Every structure is written in structure tokens, then in C-alpha cells.
Amino acid sequence: MTKWRSLIRYIRQKFKVKLIISLSVIITVCSVVIGYISYRINLQLFEDEISNQYLKTSEQTMEQIGYKIQDIYRITDFIFFHPYVEQLVLDMQAEAGEHESAAYRNYQLERELAKVLLPIKSETPYIRAVYITDVRGNNLFYSHSNMLVPPQFPEFYNQVEKGIPGSSAEIVWQRLKLPDELEPSGEKSYLVAARKLMSTKQYRQYGTIILIIDETLFEESLNPLMTARATGLHLYDQYNRLLYSLEPRQPTGLMPELEEGTGTFIQSNSTADYLTVTSVYEPRGFKLLSSVSLSGIKEKGRNVYKLALVSGFISILLMTASISFLSGKMLKPLLVLVKAMHRVRDGNFRVAIPKASADEFGFLTDSFNRMMSHIDTLIQEAYVSKLSEKEAELKALQAQLNPHFLHNTLNTIYWKIMLLYDDEETASLVTSLSNLLKYSLEPVSTPSTLQEELAQIRNYINIQEARYGSNLHVSITMEEGLEQGRMQRLLLQPLVENVFVHAFRDMSGEKRLSIRAFRQGEDRLRIDIEDNGCGMPTENLHVLLRKRLTAAGRRPEERESIGINNVIRRIDLVYGDAYGLEIHPLREGTRVSLKLPFIVEEEKTDEPEDADFTGGG
């Protein structure tokens, strides 16, 4: 346990060892991942290529088998639709006349039937025997070649009849073992194709044609498909019954399952995976199921995977040797720097390192020396900066208290005017100014209502009426139900103040100002500020509406600069592009329209403050 701890401590303290271990892990992981990805890609490519080739070969084989199946159908169609065959078979089944020998009559009929069926022998050498029976299974005619022991009737007929489903006139295929003296076992497997003979006039069965076919009919076509990795070929008839199988010398123990449709799929047993291909001969419904082992393909993929791992291991060895050889020179400046930093950590700030190179380590050495030479200055500057920050904070607090002092002073002036001079008009101006100041002391981000905003506008108008006298006519209206509509603080005052600063600046006649608040739809609030002043040029309007303020670097509690640009910017930030400020020049004056969302102010728990003076700020 102690040795392991010492080893871990040594690894943690040595950068070179950690570098070697880290790069080894990275190379190992990369080799494993890249090798596995290459293995999967190559395996998929191999599987796709083998699948395409094997599927194409299987389809070609199935097409060849289909041609041979069609030959059997052509032969049986020749017999099935030949009117003379039907007549001869029916005559064989009829009873002989009074002076007629049944044996001689049947001999003559068989000779006639043999002449009709003679072309079959020359065209189909793989047909070993042709039998025609009546409906009770009695053999009426047969022709054979190379079958020294003919099957026994009606036992053979009954065996064939059991494998014929229903009353279909289609060919029914079976694979049966029949006696054959040429085989050591005395038996040989043959393909048996049976078809019921139906009368073309009365559409009733009058017999059965049975063909005994050598297995070479299918074996010759299937042999090229039987490769070294093949696990077997299985041919199914139209009833999905196994008709013929071709197995390898060493069976794999895999019997593939017959799937619907055509194509390729993967099947597995306890030892390996197999690619199974299903090909269908559509005209007759025959299916060929063939399988091939994927072990060789996977072995190639594993070789690629092993090669990637070996390459990674060799890379680790080369990397370890290279780092061990070069680290002595390349990492020496880093070791010197580490030792110097240890001395600094112990409290020695008078450390200097000789510069030994001009690379990144040389830059680190020079930077370390500069840092140590100026460390005392940096410490001193940090103390001075901290003291300056405290002083600035105190000044900011003092500046915040000054407006409150002015508000309290105005309260004192108000009461002196009222008590000593009884001058209500002058006291009203002081009240309006004090309320404006008190309202503006709150941060701009503090929410307000439309009623509170219009109250401050009235205070501002009171001061302006004292200045302009009877020449000023102001109308402030608000639609009922809008009092508690929520809005940003100090949105209206900059717009109203702009009227007196610019629109009424050079006017000597009657001055009219109209402020009207009303709803547009269910969720919009509109406030129109209209004057009869000197107006504003169109180009100035476009320039003004394009301006945006960048309020970066300010704290929320600081008072922001108030102006039209500020109003536009605040609306854009708080409410989005759907709302804003519109300025329309009129024949006399200008109309400024504020478009805001209508949001009802939540009910407040505290009573609102009165507008008059009840105490200090």
C-alpha cells in the first residue's frame, strides 16, 4: 500500500510522467475508437458487398431453376390440354366389348399414348419415368429410363395423393425415396411432380399424371451457389414446403427461417452469424433460401481492429522514448521556474532566474523576473486603489443625500411662505417643484402608473403656467379605467418638457398643449402630446428616431439621463419592437404619440403618499 502511495505521489509531482501517461491514454483511446470505427465500417462494407453479390447470384440461380420448372409445366400442359390423351385414357378405363380383348385393347391404346408422349423423352432427359393413372390410382401407362425397380401401384399413388392439397389442377412437387437397385442402400431420393388430369369439356378429373424426376434437375443449378462458406441451400415449393436441400459436408446446425418477400437478412446460432438470402420465382411461387457464413468477413474486420491497436501501442512506445530523451533539455527551464516559485511561496520575493532561451519558456522567465521586480509596487497600488474605492463610495453616498436635502429645504420654504406671508400662489409653485423633485429621486426603473405620471405632468404645468400666464392653455384628459395602467417612470416629462424648450421657445402668441390618454384595442395604451408650436423639420424627425442610447456601465440605482432618445431606448428595451414613439408634424405644431402595452397595476398594500407636504424627505 505504501509503495502505491509513493508511486501516485511521484506521478503527481512529475510533469514529464503525467505528460507521458496523458498522451498514452489519449493515443490508446483514439486507437481503440478509430480501430472500432474502422472495424464496423469495413465490416458493413464487406457485408453489403457480399450481400449484393450473393443476392445477385441467388437470383440468377433461381431464374435458372425457374426455367426448368417451366419446362415441367410445359410438358404437363402438353398432356393436360391434349384432347387425344384424354380420349385414350378414358378408353382405357372403359369396359371391353363382348367380343373384344381388354388386354389387347389396352395394349393398342398404350402404343398410341406412347406415340403421343414420345417427344417428352427426347426433350427432358432428367425425367426418369412418366405415369398416368385413373382416379382410383390404377396405373394405366408408364414410361421409364434407368429405373430398374418401378414403384408399386396403387401404394405409390396413395403416397403421392397424400401430398396433394385440395383439388387444384396445379403441379404438386414432392421429394420421395423410391427403390433403385443402382444405389447401395437400395433407395434413392427423387423429385415427384404430380398433376391431376381434368376434362376440358366437363371439368372433372379423369386421371393423374405423375413425373419422377432426377434431383439433378435442381442440383446442377444450385452447385455453383454452394461456396466454401455456405451453410446450405433450401428450395421451397409454392406451399412453402421444403422440396430440396443441398447441405455442406460439415453441417453448421443452422436451419434458416423462411421469411416473407425477397432480400437479405442476418441469422445467428451459438457459433456465428450468417447472411441469409431469399429469392422467389414469382410465376410459380418457388423460393430459394441460401445462407453463407460471415465469419470470414468478421475475421477481416478484426484484423483491421488489431492493426489499429498494434499501431497505437507502437506509437505509445515511440512517444515515451521521445519524451524521455527530449524532456531533459526542453523542460529544464520549466523545472528552474518551478523551483523559483517554490522560493516565492516561502516568502522570498527577491528571486531572479537567468534567461536561457528565446522561446515560450524564455518569455515565462522574463515575465517572472518582471513580476518579482514590481511586486512591491503592485502591492502598494492595490492598497491605494482600495482606499480610492472607499473614498469614491463615500462621495457617491454624499451626492445621493444632496437631492434629499434640497427636497427637505423646499418643504421648509413652503411652510414659511404659508405661515409668514400667506402667499398660496408662490407656495403652490414650491409644492409642484418639490413633488417633481421627490418623484424624480426614485430610480427610473421603479414602476409607476399612468395616474402618477399625469400627476407629475400637472405639477410641471403649474410651474410653466406661472411663467407664461394666460397665453398658455393646457388640456390633460384620461379615458376612464386607465388610472392604474402600469408604465415606466418619467416617460412623459421629457416629451412635455421638449415642447416648452423647443416648440414654444420663440412663440409670443397663444400656446396650446393637449395631452390625451386612451386605449387602442384591449391591450394597448396610447398617449398623444400635441402642441401648436413651431414644429420640427422632417429630416430632424428621422435623425431623432434613429438614435439609440447605450446605457452600458451604469448601475440600476443611478439616475439616467432623461431625454427623447432615452424615452425611445427605454421603450425599445422594456416593451420590444411592437411599441414605441411616433412623431407626426402638423399644420401647426407637432403630435408625439406614445404606444405602450396596457397592463393593470397590481393592488398595493401601502397607501399612496399625498401630493402635499407632510414631512421631510
End-to-end alpha carbon distance in the chain: 74
pLDDT of residue 569: 79
How many other C-beta atoms can be found within 10 angstroms of the C-beta atom of residue 425?
A: 9
Residue with cell 409642484: 432
pLDDT of residue 519: 92
**pLDDT mean over 115-125:** 73
Calculate the alpha carbon distances from 368 to 340, 350, 359 in Å: 9, 11, 14
pLDDT digits (tens, 9 = 90+) for 356-375: 676 777 777 788 788 877 77
Find, among 425, 431, 488, the residue nearest to 611 by Cα.
431
Any residues with CB less than 8 A from the CB of 174 and at least 6 apart, and which?
A: 160, 163, 191, 192, 193, 194, 243
CA angle 549, 554, 557 (to 5 degrees): 115
**pLDDT mean over 445-474:** 85
Any residues with CB less than 8 A from the CB of 381 and at least 6 apart, and which?
A: none
Higher pLDDT, 605 or 298: 298
The answer to whether residues 220 and 233 touch, using CB atoms and an 8 Å cutoff, is no
Rg (CA), the chain: 54
* pTM as predicted: 0.45
pLDDT digits (tens, 9 = 90+) for 380-401: 666 666 665 555 454 444 444 4
Torsion of CA 491, 492, 494, 499, to 10 degrees: 160
Average pLDDT, the chain: 76
pLDDT of residue 206: 85
pLDDT of residue 425: 67
Residue with cell 379605467: 481
CA angle 548, 552, 557 (to 5 degrees): 110
Q: How confident is the model at residue 474 (pLDDT cuts 50, 70, 90)?
A: very high
3 state DSSP class of 101: coil
Does the structure show a pLDDT above 70 at 492?
Answer: yes
Range with lowest mean pLDDT among 70-74, 263-267, 350-354: 263-267
Any residues with CB less than 8 A from the CB of 556 and at least 6 apart, and which?
A: 443, 445
Q: How confident is the model at residue 317 (pLDDT cuts 50, 70, 90)?
A: confident
Q: How confident is the model at residue 230 (pLDDT cuts 50, 70, 90)?
A: low
Q: What is the DSSP letter of 247?
A: -
**pLDDT mean over 352-357:** 75
How many other C-beta atoms can be found within 10 angstroms of the C-beta atom of residue 348?
A: 11
pLDDT of residue 71: 87
**Percent of the chain residues topping a pLDDT of 90:** 7
Cα–Cα distance measured from residue 317 to residue 310, given in angstroms and rounded to the nearest whole number? 11
3 state DSSP class of 616: coil
pLDDT digits (tens, 9 = 90+) for 138-172: 887 777 765 556 788 888 888 888 888 877 778 89
Q: What is the DSSP letter of 600?
A: B
Q: How confident is the model at residue 296 (pLDDT cuts 50, 70, 90)?
A: low
The answer to whether residues 414 and 429 touch, using CB atoms and an 8 Å cutoff, is no
Residue 72: enclosing H or E segment and its boundaries?
helix 15-80
Cα–Cα distance measured from residue 295 to residue 271, given in angstroms and rounded to the nearest whole number? 9
Q: What is the DSSP letter of 418?
A: I
The type of residue at 587 is R
Does the structure show a pLDDT above 60 at 491?
Answer: yes
Q: How confident is the model at residue 268 (pLDDT cuts 50, 70, 90)?
A: low
Residue with cell 399625498: 610
**pLDDT mean over 250-274:** 66
pLDDT digits (tens, 9 = 90+) for 533-586: 887 766 666 655 555 433 333 333 333 334 677 788 788 878 888 898 888 888
Higher pLDDT, 405 or 272: 272
Q: How confident is the model at residue 610 (pLDDT cuts 50, 70, 90)?
A: very low
